[in-house]
Chains A and B, each alone.
Chain A
Amino acid sequence: MNRCAVIGVGQTHYTTRRRDVSIAGLVREAALRALEDAGLTFKDIDAVVIGKAPDLFEGVMMPEAYLADALGAAGKPMMRVHTAGSVGGSTALVGASLIQGGVHDRVLVVAFEKQSESNATWALSTHLPFSSSLVVGAGGYFAPHIREYMRRSAAPDHIGTLVAVKDRLNALKNPYAHLKIPGIDQKMVESTPMLWEPIRYLETCPSSDGACAMVLSSESAVTGTPAWVHGTAMRSEPIFRASRDTVSPQAGKDCAADVYRQAGIADPRRQIDVAETYVPFSWYEPMWLENLGFAAEGEGWKLTESGATALDGDIPWNASGGVLSSNPIGASGLIRFAEAALQVRGMAGEHQVDGARTALGHAYGGGAQFFAMWIVGREKL
């Protein structure tokens, strides 16, 4: 397998509505920034991979056809990835696969969502005829899983608010973050309305417009400061399997085990310096801490409570502010992967974790059944 490196990262500002750009303008902005970071132009790119969450969010079916021009893809291969909420991560992995398989030397990966074009909650509540559902939006689906986690782990009620505050404090240090709430504290989070018991308004992710792009490169085509890909993995499990554990899905555990094996990681808590994980509702931090092996079963909330996952803790999670602070859905996974790369390249700016050498990027989607992960490092593996 050929080595793959991230040599360019580009992000747009994440915000409720980007009225000043079209969808094409939005993705091009991220792509040009990634190319600039790599010191390259569209001419240096062999292939383009684009990902986004359901097409219903913008009402454009298979938009890669329309976006080929804006992304300089004409005359090149272009792929469109869609694996539900994990799609941003999967997009990076499909791009990396093209390099690792020796097919290309430089691949541009882009993911976006322009949520202001529609109402995501209702786009996610559309069901096929004959399959009636009382679930409204993703929060309605995941809240029972969170309640079950709280029951099993006997975690105190305030853990979710700790994550909501911590990630938004991190967002204040990230120039691209959507939600910037100066003075945010536990009291403020607790004063916001309950949306889906136990998820309060400030414990959920925003709806954002935004795009993120990366330039991926083979070893021989590296420019600038590379982040080396140490491992990649995807796992999926069926949504209706009766025995599956929706609180700590087997697919998440298997995906983590696979990516850790490739990267030579036996103890993620000690060996990983910073993790960018897909936490769209505050309680998913302790849940994923356990699922990803950073804490023993039932112990994840204690790690959060101890401050270990804060920017100055021993294992910072979501130093960028995470999905709780910026959520252009289809791009959210790719942003996790890109932020992991920025950390090991030492280019994360104010939210840089000192001395970060190894980072985890994580995304999940569907009914907590699709997982995509990678480990990136400052050095070649």
Chain B
Amino acid sequence: MRALATREVAIVAFAQTRHTPHDTGLTEPELILPVINEVKERTGLKRFGFTCSGSCDYLAGAPFSFVSALDALAAWPPISESHVEMDGAWALYEAWVRLQHGDIDSALVYGFGKSSLGDLRRIMTLQLDPYYLAPLGLDQLSYAALQAAAVGADRKELDEIVRRSRADGRANPYALDLPDPERGEDEPLAVRPLKLTDVPPITDGAAAIVLATGDLARELSDNPAYIRGIAHRIEPHYLGMRDLARSASAADAARAAGVGKGPVEVAELHTQFPHEEIILREALELTGDTVINPSGGPLAANPVMATGLIRIGEAAQRILDGRARRTVAHAAGGPCLQHNLVTVLEA
């Protein structure tokens, strides 16, 4: 495999919805429109060299749920555009690859999802091998619980991750206002050993990011967040073929993206459950000096299909605001962190 391509690409704008724990009656194009308009206004760009989005038909329960999203883009004259049936973080990866060609200098990326529309826990079962795993009825919480059991982390550490995430979420105007878990030992179980408070909230939301290269990036932002490394890896699907207590693919992706080449001030991790933070800190070799999920992370707002893209946006925003010089973002897909994408951002 050759070394990463090297054309300088930066995040110059990020916008997200004020995420909600319930359906507010907005259609998907209505959900997307304000964040698209926000990044257009912030950059002054009306047209982009490439556009890519991430979403999932199963959340809406209809085929081609992304099609009507084009109506929110004012895609006229017709645009150069593609879509991944993955978290919007992979749409950003596809756009980053496209920018490496050298013939365009900007890209619009967005991700969106309304997990309020169905029973997310059971919908996620449909992602499993349809012959051998899905018929077992293993739902999202059950397989997360298998991984939590494999990690076997100290309960106090997990509780502290939940408490910190919710507190940070309350300070983040875009995340949900979730109370401190108060009942300690008595907190009811979701699926042993997961407590109900370990479960990410059902969330509707969307996010958009603008990428730009070279001179355009410097023109559009005083502090562009340069993508110094971006890489992703997938693991075998079958849970029995993996060491669930570790994430080899996140570790590989982190090495390929160059996480360890410098200090990491902030890491935004796609941790839907507190035990995943423990796995990912180890995989990314993050030290105690790194602030994890200051946005509150997915435990404070989890708009599925946008959650990973929001991690990249939040990590970039720290640099855009001049509050940090080197941050890391992580996005995940598949059951039990099967697929991991790591992005290193620098001022």
B83 / chain A contacts, CB cutoff of 8 Å: 81-83
Minimum distance in angstroms from B80 CB to a CB of chain A = 5
Please state if B85 and A97 are interface contacts (CB–CB under 8 Å): no
Tell whether A54 pairs with B77 under 8 Å between CB atoms, given A76-B233, A80-B84, A97-B101.
no
Nearest 10 CB-CB pairings of A with B: A101-B100, A54-B63, A251-B78, A65-B334, A82-B85, A236-B81, A237-B78, A102-B5, A61-B126, A238-B70
* CB neighbors of B among A80-115 (8 A): 80-84, 90, 93-94, 97-98, 100-105
Minimum distance in angstroms from A313 CB to a CB of chain B = 30
Please state if A126 and B101 are interface contacts (CB–CB under 8 Å): no
| B98 proximal to A (CB < 8 A) | yes
Minimum distance in angstroms from A72 CB to a CB of chain B = 11
Please state if B70 and A239 are interface contacts (CB–CB under 8 Å): yes
Tell whether A97 pairs with B94 under 8 Å between CB atoms, given A54-B57, A60-B130, A61-B56.
yes
B190 / chain A contacts, CB cutoff of 8 Å: none
| A1 proximal to B (CB < 8 A) | yes
* Docked pose: A77 CA to B253 CA in angstroms: 9
Quick one: which of B124, B128, B235 contacts A68, CB cutoff 8 A? B235
Most central of A59, A60, A249 by chain B CB within 10 Å: A60
Minimum distance in angstroms from A246 CB to a CB of chain B = 13
Minimum distance in angstroms from B329 CB to a CB of chain A = 16
* Smallest CB gap from A366: residue in B: B67
* Docked pose: A22 CA to B129 CA in angstroms: 10
| B287 proximal to A (CB < 8 A) | no
| A23 proximal to B (CB < 8 A) | yes
Please state if B130 and A65 are interface contacts (CB–CB under 8 Å): no
Minimum distance in angstroms from B69 CB to a CB of chain A = 9
Please state if B78 and A66 are interface contacts (CB–CB under 8 Å): no
* CB neighbors of A among B264-281 (8 A): none
| B237 proximal to A (CB < 8 A) | yes
Please state if A239 and B67 are interface contacts (CB–CB under 8 Å): yes
Quick one: which of A58, A67, A97, A239 contacts B97, CB cutoff 8 A? A97
20 sample A-B contacts, Cβ–Cβ < 8 Å, listed by A number: A1-B102, A65-B338, A69-B236, A69-B237, A78-B232, A78-B234, A79-B93, A81-B85, A82-B66, A103-B4, A128-B65, A234-B82, A236-B80, A237-B75, A237-B76, A238-B76, A241-B71, A250-B78, A251-B78, A370-B81
| A127 proximal to B (CB < 8 A) | yes
Quick one: which of A78, A236, A239 contacts B339, CB cutoff 8 A? A78
| B61 proximal to A (CB < 8 A) | yes
| A62 proximal to B (CB < 8 A) | yes
Please state if A94 and B82 are interface contacts (CB–CB under 8 Å): yes
* Smallest CB gap from B68: residue in A: A239
| B153 proximal to A (CB < 8 A) | no
* Smallest CB gap from B63: residue in A: A54
Looking at chain B, what size class is its interface with the partner chain? 35 or more
Please state if A234 and B73 are interface contacts (CB–CB under 8 Å): no
* Docked pose: A105 CA to B4 CA in angstroms: 11
User: Residues of A at under 8 Å CB distance from B?
Assistant: 1, 22-24, 46, 53-56, 58-69, 73-84, 90, 93-94, 97-98, 100-105, 123-124, 126-128, 233-241, 244, 249-251, 254-255, 258, 366-367, 369-370
Minimum distance in angstroms from B210 CB to a CB of chain A = 18
B 35-76 to A, binary, CB cutoff 8 A, 1 in contact else 0: 000000000000000010000111011111111101101111
* Smallest CB gap from B5: residue in A: A102
Minimum distance in angstroms from A182 CB to a CB of chain B = 35
A250 / chain B contacts, CB cutoff of 8 Å: 77-78
A24 / chain B contacts, CB cutoff of 8 Å: 129
Please state if A74 and B61 are interface contacts (CB–CB under 8 Å): no
Please state if A65 and B78 are interface contacts (CB–CB under 8 Å): no
* Docked pose: A296 CA to B102 CA in angstroms: 34
Please state if A79 and B235 are interface contacts (CB–CB under 8 Å): no
* Docked pose: A239 CA to B66 CA in angstroms: 11
* Smallest CB gap from B64: residue in A: A84
Please state if B100 and A102 are interface contacts (CB–CB under 8 Å): yes
| B103 proximal to A (CB < 8 A) | yes
A78 / chain B contacts, CB cutoff of 8 Å: 232, 234, 339
Please state if A104 and B2 are interface contacts (CB–CB under 8 Å): yes
Please state if A68 and B236 are interface contacts (CB–CB under 8 Å): yes
Please state if A79 and B64 are interface contacts (CB–CB under 8 Å): no
Quick one: which of B75, B99, B127, B133 contacts A62, CB cutoff 8 A? B127
* Docked pose: A94 CA to B96 CA in angstroms: 12
* Smallest CB gap from B341: residue in A: A77
A62 / chain B contacts, CB cutoff of 8 Å: 56, 58, 85-86, 127, 333-334
* Docked pose: A1 CA to B101 CA in angstroms: 5
Tell whether A103 pairs with B100 under 8 Å between CB atoms, given A75-B252, A235-B79, A369-B70.
yes
Please state if B97 and A98 are interface contacts (CB–CB under 8 Å): yes
* Smallest CB gap from A253: residue in B: B78
B 1-25 to A, binary, CB cutoff 8 A, 1 in contact else 0: 1101100000000000000000000
Tell whether A77 pairs with B130 under 8 Å between CB atoms, given A65-B338, A123-B63.
no
| B247 proximal to A (CB < 8 A) | no
* Smallest CB gap from B94: residue in A: A94
B66 / chain A contacts, CB cutoff of 8 Å: 82
A101 / chain B contacts, CB cutoff of 8 Å: 5, 97-101
* Docked pose: A82 CA to B85 CA in angstroms: 6
Please state if B231 and A128 are interface contacts (CB–CB under 8 Å): no
* Docked pose: A77 CA to B67 CA in angstroms: 26
Please state if A75 and B235 are interface contacts (CB–CB under 8 Å): yes
A237 / chain B contacts, CB cutoff of 8 Å: 70, 75-79
* Smallest CB gap from B99: residue in A: A101
- Given A62-B127, A65-B334, A241-B71, 15 more A-B residue pairs with CB atoms under 8 Å apart are A1-B101, A55-B57, A56-B57, A60-B134, A61-B58, A66-B129, A75-B248, A79-B86, A103-B5, A127-B62, A234-B81, A237-B77, A238-B76, A240-B68, A254-B78
* Docked pose: A123 CA to B128 CA in angstroms: 20
